[in-house]
Structure 1
């Protein structure tokens, strides 16, 4: 699969994978900040997201294989792998499937465990938007408001909306496949092994995604890991506390 990506900077290769409903465009600003620290940053759209190809399936082993193919296509030697949420699960799964094929892992606000489906309302809201007759983004936002009260979350979700050449709206995300595979997206890692490479887990102080009771599992699977709690941040650590996020990342990598 030929994944879409944006690259900035020169230096040690660092790959960023976004979370569910996201894209590499969400990481443009912070990618430039990271690149200024001496890294060649590759922000990648995962399958069924952004400008990357759509597929009929969406599992972590497949996402890890997509990442491996991307690394080979770009000729990258043991890159640093960073992923947020779903992207964090992808880089952890990659570590299980491709030992010794990377230098460091950075996992942002996700744990190596299964999660209950909690995006049902968002999916219902996205499916309720009538693309064929939709006139504007503001109309889509008004419809989505009945399913998602947060204006910032709605803005994030509606970044996936674009106009076709004929003027009609369409989704960049593969909404039917994501909807059909939402339980799989919450699944645990498969073919688990102990990962000895240096790993940083970043979690938001206000987020419930990485709990204290997850720490023994993290330490068991990733014995060479540290956990950094970012004060004042919830799940969107990099957006809510960008300076602390970059400082934690650079300190770990140095």
Structure 2
């Protein structure tokens, strides 16, 4: 299935959750997934936040992920522009934007490009600067391995869901992470064909851009929460200066988890997010 487009912004696929009774309360929430993720990753948390906060929650597929179109440009200005167009086209007024990892950098880019776009920012395990350090370099290398394995898997004319998972197991022993990665692999039960929903070559060519951050002078003065996994290396104590420079009204909350905070410790994450929103919503 070829979903490649050219040009600037792409129309993003999304799911909308209204699991509350009665009228919506306050600003809606936009939820942005991370690299190689999709809008279904945060479905459970989105339903919970919608029900307990009485909010509409939109989970988006970022470009080159999930059901959204493919585009050769995969950088933060392009991804932020896509979300800006979604907000405009769907008449979403100053949403609370939550993003994990790559999605966190898209959320930060969105806020810094135009401070009026969102009312509140929640960055999950990422910072407004290039990701550096040996541990992060190892994380980049891991994602490259995933992409190489997927690329090689689809050179086999007999590729199957089982064969892709078996190949991934050679580089990723965690069943939970493989299940996350396998959400990108689908089977057409009509034809029997197995296909990859993400454009592997586009992501691979742009992967270094995903760990960079282009906005180093702009400032967002709205309330911001930075959620840090205590077993992750994406937010270091030394990063606080960069956070304060771009987002002066910030708060850092530690959660016992690795980089995959939302799935590692969902209860603590949900309670942390709800408390922050309730404290800051006007």
Superposition TM-score tier, normalisation by shorter sequence: over 0.9
Q: Is the 8 A contact 1:6 1:44 kept in 2?
A: yes
Pairing partner for 1:240 from 256, 260, 264: 264
- CA 1:170–1:192: 2 relative to 1, 3 Å: farther
Q: Which residue of 2 aligns with 1:23?
A: 38
Pair 1:106–1:128, CA change in 2 (3 A): same
RMSD: 1.4
Q: Normalising by structure 2, what TM-score?
A: 0.86
| Cα offset, 1:130, TM superposition | 2.5
3-state SS, counterpart of residue 82 of structure 1? strand
Question: 1:93 aligned to 2:93?
Answer: no
Gaps of 5+ in 1: none
Give the match for residue 3 of structure 2: none
- Give, in angstroms, the shift of residue 50 of structure 1: 0.1
Aligned residues: 253
Deviates more, 1:165-174 or 1:69-78: 165-174
Q: Distance in 1 between matches of 2:87 and 2:80?
A: 11
Equivalent-residue separation in structure 1 for 2:243 and 2:104 (angstroms): 13
The CA distance in 1 between the partners of 2:201 and 2:146, in whole Å, is 13
Q: Does residue 42 in structure 1 map to residue 48 in structure 2?
A: no
Q: Pick one of 191, 196, 210 that aligns with 2:221.
A: 196
Which moves more between the two structures, 222-231 or 188-197?
188-197
Specify every segment of 5 or more residues in structure 2 that has no aligned partner in the other structure, as ranges: 1-9, 19-23, 132-136
The Cα of 1:192 is off from its aligned counterpart by 3.0
What TM-score, normalized by structure 1, do the two folds share?
0.95
Tell me if structure 2 keeps the 8 A contact 1:131–1:170.
Answer: no
Compared with structure 1, are the counterparts of its residues 21 and 134 closer, same or farther at alpha carbon in structure 2 (3 Å cutoff)?
Answer: farther
How far off its partner does 1:134 sit? 3.7
Q: Flag the 1:157–1:173 CA change in 2: closer, same or farther, 3 A.
A: same
Runs of at least 4 residues of structure 1 off by over 3 A?
A: none
* Counterpart check, 1:177 vs 2:202: yes
- Tell me the distance in 1 between the aligned counterparts of 2:273 and 2:44: 15
Q: Is the 8 A contact 2:226 2:252 kept in 1?
A: yes
Match of 1:217 in 2: 242
